[in-house]
Chains A and B, each alone.
Chain A
C-alpha cells in the first residue's frame, strides 16, 4: 500500500515497513533540540525522578535563544541550569553565546538537519526542518525530558493534507505571503494534528531559506509537521552545510498516497499579504490594509531572520530613512557576520534601524523591542496573538521582510512593490 513522505519517515523511525495515519508508534529520534526557555524545566524534571542520563550526547543540539543574552536574573538562572547540564553531560553540539542563535535558523545552517530523519524540539516552530524532507515537530518539556533520556517518543502518525503551489511568484511576493495565504484559507486549526505537505512548481523558485519560512508556520495552521520533498535546491544546501556527510535517505510520497484534502494555489495571482491582529489566519492582501499607521517594524525571527530576508529588506531600505522604530535581528551569528560583511549593516544604520544580537527576543514579547499599550508593529515573525509582542493592547501585523521594510520607510502598512 502507498504512503506519504511523512508516513515513510515515521515508519523508518519506528522500525516498521508500513504505518497508517492514526497509528501509534514509538519513534527513534535522530536529533533532539534543547533551548533555554523550555529546556531547563526538563533538566529539573529528570533530576526529580532521579534520572541523570542522556541517550546520546552527539544527537542533542543545545542553544540558548529565546532570552539570550540573559534578559533578567531569572533568565540568567535558566541559562546557568542549561550551561551546567550541557557541560556535565559533555553535549557535543552546544552553541554558547557568540555562536548561539535562533534555533530554527541555527540547526540547518550548522548542518544538523538531514532528510529522512526525525527531529524534535521544545519549541512549536520546530516544524521548520520539514523543508529538508525530514519529519520534525514541536514538543513540551516533559517530552523533551523523555527524549533526552531515552531517544524515543510516542507519536500518532498524522494524516496528510496536500498543498499544491502552482505558478511562479510575482515580484514583491515571497514565500511568507504564500504561507499567510494558505493559513488564511484553512484557518489556524485547518490542519490540526495533520501533516502539511507542500508540492508544486512554485517551490522550484524558492531557496531553502524561503521554504523554511513556509514549513516554519505549519504550526500556525495547527499542523503536527510541515514537509517539502527533496530536490536539487535541497541537495545544494545540504552539500554546503551538512556536518555529517554520510548518506541520507530520501523519501517521497507515493503517487497514490492518501490525503484528507488537496488545496491548490495559483501563486502567480498572489499579492503581498498582511495578517491582521490577532490571528495568523487574518491575512489580507496589502491593498486592503495599506495606510494603517505603525509604531515599530521588526525584521527577524525563525520565520524571516535569515540572510536572504535581510538582503530583501536592505534592498528596500537602501538610501531611504525609516519613519518608525525599526529593529533588525539577524537570526544567527553567521547571518550577523554575513550581513555585516555584505554591507547590509551600513544600509540599516544609514536608514536609522537598530541591529540586535541574535535572539528570539521581542518576537514573543521577551525583550529587545517589546510594545507599549496601543502600539502597532509590522513584524516578519509568525504569531500575532493578543499580547504576543508586549502589552495585551498592542497589535502585531505579520508580513514579509519586504512589506515590513517598505512599511518602516512610510511609517504605515505599505505595498513593497512601490519600491521595486
Chain B
C-alpha cells in the first residue's frame, strides 16, 4: 500500500523529474535526493516507500536520461500512473524492470493523498480512501516479460544462456 502524489498536469518532463545539474552521477540514492525538485521541492520530504506518482499526459517527456526512472525508483516510488507516457521514459521504465500504469481513468479517480493498493497482474488499483476499484490494462505481454525478468539485461541474459559473459 502507498500514498498517491498527484500532479494534475500534462508534460511533467525529465528536467523537472531530475534536473541536468545532477546528471554528474548515476547513483540512484544520490539522484533520489533531487527527485522532482523543480516541480515540487517538498516531494522528497513527504514520499514514503511504496508510494505512487499520478500525473496527466506525456509524463517523462524530454531527455533520454534513464536517471529520471532511477530518481523516482530511488525515492521509493513503486509506480507512476499517468494518462500517457513519453516514449523514451516508457521504454526506460520497462528496461529497468519498473512497472508503470497508463490509464486516464485511474488518473481521474485518484486524488492527492489517496491510499492505493495495486495488483499489477490483475490490472487492478484499489483506492482505499474512496473505496473504489479501478481497472487498468496491464502492460503488453512482451513488456511485462521484461519487467518480470527484472529488466532488459536480465531478460537478454536469460535468452542468451550466458553467452554474453565471454570476453570480447
Q: Identify the A interface with B (CB < 8 A).
A: 24, 37-38, 40-41, 44-46, 49-54, 57, 66-67, 71-72, 74-75, 78, 89, 122-124, 126, 138-143, 145-146, 149-150, 154, 188-189, 192-193, 219, 222-224, 279, 364-366, 370, 383, 385-388, 392
Contact = CB atoms under 8 A, between A and B. Distances in A.
B23 A222 contact: no
A50 B58 contact: no
Contacts of A74: 24-25
A142 B167 CA distance: 20
Give 5 nearest A-B pairs by CB, closest first: A140-B66, A74-B24, A140-B92, A142-B95, A41-B26
Nearest to B19: A387
Interface of A is mostly: loop
A38 B18 CA distance: 13
B15 A386 contact: yes
A254 B30 CA distance: 50
Given A78-B26, A189-B11, 20 more contacts: A37-B23, A38-B66, A41-B66, A45-B153, A49-B157, A54-B168, A67-B23, A67-B24, A124-B63, A140-B64, A140-B91, A141-B92, A142-B92, A143-B92, A189-B10, A192-B58, A192-B87, A365-B21, A386-B39, A388-B20
B164 A140 contact: no
B87 A385 contact: no
Contacts of B160: 150
Most chain B CB within 10 A, of A57, A140, A193, A222, is at: A140
Given A37-B65, A53-B167, A53-B168, A143 B87 contact: no
Given A75-B24, A143-B95, A124 B58 contact: no
25 contacts: A38-B65, A49-B153, A49-B157, A50-B165, A53-B166, A71-B24, A74-B24, A78-B24, A140-B88, A141-B66, A142-B151, A143-B92, A143-B152, A145-B152, A145-B153, A188-B61, A222-B86, A224-B87, A364-B23, A366-B20, A370-B21, A383-B15, A383-B62, A386-B13, A386-B15
A37 B21 CA distance: 11
Contacts of B11: 188-189, 279
Given A41-B66, A140-B64, A189 B19 contact: no
A193 B24 CA distance: 29
Contact of B23 (A51, A66, A145): A66
Nearest to A39: B26
B111 to A, nearest CB: 24
A40 B27 CA distance: 11
A189 B86 CA distance: 8
Contact of B154 (A38, A49, A71, A385): A49
Contact of B16 (A122, A189, A385): A385
B154 to A, nearest CB: 7
B96 interface: yes
B156 A149 contact: yes
B142 A24 contact: yes
A200 B23 CA distance: 39
A387 B15 contact: yes
Interface string B1-45: 000000000110111100111011110000000000111000000
